[in-house]
Chains A and B, each alone.
Chain A
Amino acid sequence: MRLYKESGTKILCWSDIDGRLNPLGLALPALLLIVWHLVTVDGNIPGYLLPRPMEIGKVALDFALGNLQLTPYSGTMLDHSLASISRVFSGFGLAAVIGLPLGFLTGRITAVKRTIDPTIHLFRTIPGIGWLPVAMVWFGVGERTTLFLIALAAFFPIYVNSAQGAASVPPQLIWAGRMLGANKISLFTTIIIPASAPAVVAGLRLGMGLSWAYLVLGELTGVAQGLGAVMMDARMLGHVDMIIVAMVCIAILGRVTDLVLTTMFKLYQPRAGGAVS
């Protein structure tokens, strides 16, 4: 039995919040696949520019299972993916460990905001890619540059959103907490954190998205393993199919990490309203 309105707008995805499939959401990718198939099936577009969807499927399968030996990357999907995932997690983790506390401090304490916020926003105006040359000078190509780029790029949305979320907790909620006997610490853990959680999660999701973007950028500079490395390498060997497969892998992994974040949030706060899809 439900009384009154069900709050929380449902944002449709391929599968709905309650797990049901959303046919409309699937229609567009299906249509794209069909068009792709139709324009490539008669060989008008050469395979080295845009391979057929069926080819891509085969290469992807081989990349995962190594059963067909179609490319030099046959059967290495797990290794490359794990390398990329661990970079994303380290970089993103670093950004969160620094960004969340700083964001909350800026959001709640005016003195901290006045001290660090202007400088952080100054650095924020530098585009992430603009850091690449200097990062390569400082950290060399590859591993550490990638971590630096990811952490830097993910830091800003995490910091900005948690600061904004913490700052906009309605004063009356805080009054209510103090009136009900909360001390400084419990006020923070039982009111400020849950009240700003939707904004914080929005920041984490943006940060996670950027992490995947900057992962590829960093890996392109040269790492032994990783999906970005596969893409760079496959370009030199003329394997467009492999480039596309790596792109698909990143898309899927990006979506999965996003789902992990939103699911964790729903477990933490089942009734957060429409803030998270």
Chain B
Amino acid sequence: MKNGTGHYLLIDGVNKTFPGQNGRERLKVLDEINLYADEGEIIGIVGPSGCGKSTLLNIIAGFVPPDRGRVVFCGKHVQKPSPERAVVFQTVVLFPWLTVWDNISYGLKRRGEKNIARLVKRYIQIVGLDSFEYYYPDQLSGGMQQRVALARVLVLNPRLLLMDEPFASLDALSRLTMQQLLLDIWQKLRITVLFVTHDVEEALLLTHRIYIMSRRPGRIIREIQVPFGFPRSFSLTGTPCFAQLKSEILNTLILGLK
């Protein structure tokens, strides 16, 4: 599994530019990104808005190719999307014409799965959406929609979960619930997660390691080991060590803005 690279997921010298608008020069978005994740790790990526976090995740997912560099996952060069690298998007991307149930079973059907009903039921329960099976996405709150998006990919038993500021648009309380949900799910499944956020507390609460990015063109300017053990809970945020790490990261982020 780790053949060739030694890491479960390896991002190796990834660069990305976009065509400039109105004949201006190309916009450099990602500059020599190197990072890795080992199996079962939750990795945080924090960085200022517009630094290329979503772009990086899209490259890892296989939606867009990098200009230079490569993404290696389980020893294989990533070139197109796959259900083993699941994505929860920054804005909720559900199929609005399908019910909660059909959204969650979508991937199972594509795979030709036999036990669809049992699996869908189980994951609806895990994300806490019982009795909302036949609702349509636009009849759900933002938090509930993000739960559907989570269940839709978890049900496929992915080997890597790519989450792009999944809780950023939620109110503080739903955000806490969702963070706790993610921690609970990780306790159960030990899935490898890449979690993009610009909320430093969220990164500290949820992850094993954090990569800090500079402003555009995004570079990795620092890597921080998060020393807290699991299982974690929200009470962690009150500890002095947490506060100290938080201010350290914020300082790095501010330096990265210059």
Name A's B-contacting residues (CB within 8 A): 2-7, 170, 172-173, 175-183, 186, 190-191, 194-195, 197, 269, 271-273
Q: What size tier do the contact residues of chain B reach?
A: 20 to 34
Given the contacts A190-B106, A271-B96, A172 and B138 also touching, CB distance less than 8 Å: no
Minimal beta-carbon separation of B29 from chain A (angstroms): 17
Asked if B140 and A175 make an inter-chain contact with CB atoms under 8 angstroms apart, the answer reads no
A191-B95, A272-B97 given; A178·B138 CB < 8 A? no
Q: How far is the CB of B169 from chain A (nearest CB, A)?
A: 15
Contacts of A6 in B (CB 8 A): 139
Residue of B nearest to A3 (CB): B139
Is there contact, CB below 8 Å, between B153 and A180?
yes
Q: A178-B80, A190-B106 are in contact. Are A271 and B87 (CB under 8 A)?
A: no
Contact (Cβ within 8 A) A4 B139: yes
Residue numbers in A under 8 Å from B93 (CB-CB):
170, 172-173, 175-176
Give me the 8 closest cross-chain CB pairs, A-B, nearest first.
A180-B107, A181-B110, A271-B136, A179-B81, A178-B81, A181-B83, A172-B93, A7-B138
The reply to whether A175 and B61 form a contact with Cβ atoms under 8 Å apart is yes
Chain A CB count within 10 A is highest, among B58, B97, B99, B153, for B97
Q: How far is the CB of A71 from chain B (nearest CB, A)?
A: 49
Question: Can you name 6 A-B residue pairings with CB atoms under 8 Å?
Answer: A3-B141, A172-B91, A175-B61, A179-B61, A179-B82, A182-B110
Q: How far is the CA of A242 from the CA of B140 in the complex (A)?
A: 55
- CA–CA, A3 to B138, complex, Å? 9
When C-beta atoms are compared, the residue in chain B nearest to A198 turns out to be B97
**Would A175 and B87 count as touching, CB distance under 8 A?**
yes
- B residues near A179, Cβ cutoff 8 Å: 61, 63, 81-83, 85-87, 153
From 28 to 80 in chain B, residues with beta carbon under 8 angstroms from any chain A beta carbon are: 58, 61, 63, 80
Which chain B residues lie closer than 8 Å to A180 at the CB level? 83, 106-107, 110, 152-153, 156
- Digit string of B95-121 for contact with A (CB within 8 Å is 1, else 0)? 111010000001100110000000000
Instruction: Name which residue of chain A comes closest to B90, CB basis.
Output: A172
Closest chain B residue, CB of each to CB of A186: B110
In angstroms, Cα B26 to Cα A258, docked, is: 49
Residues of A with C-beta under 8 A to B58: 175
Contact of B81 among A7, A173, A175, A195 (CB under 8 A): A175
Q: How far is the CA of A272 from the CA of B132 in the complex (A)?
A: 19
Which residues of the partner chain A approach B97 to less than 8 Å between Cβ atoms?
194-195, 197, 269, 271-272
B167 CB-CB contact with A under 8 Å: no
What's the Cα separation between A273 and B153 when bound, in Å? 25
Alpha-carbon distance between A180 and B106 when the two chains are bound, in angstroms? 7
C-alpha spacing A224/B111, complex, angstroms: 57
User: Besides the contacts A180-B106, A181-B156, A273-B96, what 15 more A-B pairs have beta carbons closer than 8 Å?
Assistant: A3-B139, A3-B140, A3-B141, A4-B140, A6-B139, A7-B139, A175-B87, A176-B87, A178-B63, A179-B87, A180-B156, A181-B83, A186-B110, A195-B95, A195-B97
Question: Does B228 have its Cβ within 8 Å of any Cβ on chain A?
Answer: no
When distances are taken between beta carbons in the complex, the residues of chain A under 8 Å from B83 are 179-181
